[in-house]
Amino acid sequence: MSRYERARIDLREQARRRVRAATRWAALASGALAAAFTVLLAHQGAAAAPQPTSTPTVAPQGVSGPALAPPAQAPSVGFGNGYSAYGSSGGS
């Protein structure tokens, strides 16, 4: 094996070691970043949840609250352009 071939093999081995080290660092960094985002999003979700400010009160027996009124108009199921959501525009 010539000196030139030996130098090429050594350079290739050094490059492999550098790539292996870079891959290892990238894997560690991505794992740490994923863990940081998980913690951040978990805390953000807990902070965004509404917290009750007081305990709900229960009306005494025999006393009822305001009655619920029916809606003024029934909700529409169509698309607003004369076509039904069920494939028929009505009729017989």
Record the pTM. 0.43
Read off the tokens for 17: 């070691």
Distance of CA 30 to the CA centre of its chain: 18
Query: Running along the chain, 92 residues long, what does each successive block of 10 average in pLDDT?
Result: 93 97 97 93 70 61 66 66 59 52
Of 66, 62, 90, 65, residue with least CA distance to 76? 90
pLDDT at residue 66, rounded to an integer: 67
Give the model's pLDDT for residue 10: 96
How confident is the model at residue 79, as a pLDDT?
61
**Domain definitions of the chain by residue range:** 1-49
Q: Please report the pLDDT score of residue 76 as a whole number.
A: 64
